[in-house]
Structure formats: structure tokens, C-alpha cells
Chain A
Amino acid sequence: DAGVIQSPRHEVTEMGQEVTLRCKPISGHNSLFWYRQTMMRGLELLIYFNNNVPIDDSGMPEDRFSAKMPNASFSTLKIQPSEPRDSAVYFCASRPQGEDYGYTFGSGTRLTVV
């Protein structure tokens, strides 16, 4: 099992550019979560999906952020346009169906907007 796979690992972009982060969950996991981690705010839940359907996107900070999960093996988080305050580590995590299972996190994407 390759675990949760995120790409790219690092992204440096200029303010105003579009950024797309990608995630492949563990096969068979049916819940997928996008988190943002910063020193100031810790781990913030942005959005999560169950069986490819968005359940709660109340954590998405602004309309500049959007996320999709077109199938069970792929999800994207897009920021358009990006701003310097979006700089953070973005983690994707997945978990299997059923009660009481913790997440498996991906390695994260470190985003720097200059």
C-alpha cells in the first residue's frame, strides 16, 4: 500500500497565480479530508468528502478555494487567485468506512506564495 499520495511536495508560485494540489487516497478508503497547517492556526479542516460527495466545506476560507473529488481515487484542491497568506502546508488524509478509524495523512504539499 503506497499510502495517501499528494503532489506536488513543494510549490512556489507568484501571487495571483492558480495553484492546484492533488491527492490520491488509499484504495478502499471512502472519506477524504483536506487540512491546512500553519504555525498560527494549527491544523484546520478545509473540506471533506464521503464517497466522493462533499459533506462540509465550511472550513474553506474564501471563494478563492475550491475542491473536487471526481472519483474515488483522486481529489484536487484549487486556489485561484493565490495570495501570500495562503502559504502553508496542505495535507490530504483518508480513512475507511466505519466507526472509529483514524486518518492516514499524505506527506503534504508545502505551498509558498510570493
Chain B
Amino acid sequence: GENVEQHPSTLSVQEGDSAVIKCTYSDSASNYFPWYKQELGKRPQLIIDIRSNVGEKKDQRIAVTLNKTAKHFSLHITETQPEDSAVYFCAASRTDSWGKLQFGAGTQVVVTP
């Protein structure tokens, strides 16, 4: 089955700096890669996703890049703000898996003022 590895497990950044989280996946048939943000005590929420026919996608201060050849994808947050502090999860799925997502272990991001 699919295995998703996520690094780093914790990330501390100064407000205004950029944060990058990287994930690798094992199943070459995976074609959908969402990212979730989970604030303390709350539900994971979808913040951005990318499909296998696209190499990069941006939404304001967040962007995701995908390298299918190397089987890795990354989340980039620019101009970080204290409200970006949360746990971020990457995930992967394939078309024939009924939408089942395999999640990475998560990255705790702390933005210090």
C-alpha cells in the first residue's frame, strides 16, 4: 500500500520568514495530493491540493509543488504569521482507491513573533 513520509516533524520559524514541508510517497499510481492544517483541538482542514497533471499551485501565501518523477511534493508558506502555527499533514491517494487518503505523520509549525 501507499506510504507517505513527511519532514520535518517540527518547524520553528520567525514571523515573516518562509516555511517548507516536504513529503515523499511510495505508490507511483498516486495522483491526488492534499494538504491539511490542524489547529490545536480542532479538526484537520483542507488548505490546498494538487493533482498529478500539475506541477505547482498557489493560493495567496501558500503553494504546493509536485515532482512525480521523484515522488515528492512540498508545501511552501511565505510571509508566515502567528496564525499559521498548527500541525500540517500531507496526504496522497489514487483514483482507484475510493478516495482513501494516506496521511503523513504531520509537521508542527510554530511561528514566533
Q: Which residues of A contact B (CB under 8 A)?
A: 31, 33, 42-43, 45, 48, 50, 55-56, 91, 95, 99-108
Contacts and interface: CB of A to CB of B under 8 A. Distances in A.
A55 B98 contact: yes
Size category of the B interface is: 20 to 34
Contacts, number: 52
Contacts of A33: 100-101
B61 interface: no
Interface of B: 31-32, 34, 36, 42-46, 49, 51, 89, 91, 95, 98-103, 105-106
Contacts of B102: 45
A6 to B, nearest CB: 9
Contacts of B45: 105
B43 A105 contact: yes
A100 B49 contact: yes
Contacts of B100: 33, 45, 48, 55-56
Is chain A's interface secondary structure helix, strand, loop, or mixed overall? Answer: strand
Contacts of A50: 98
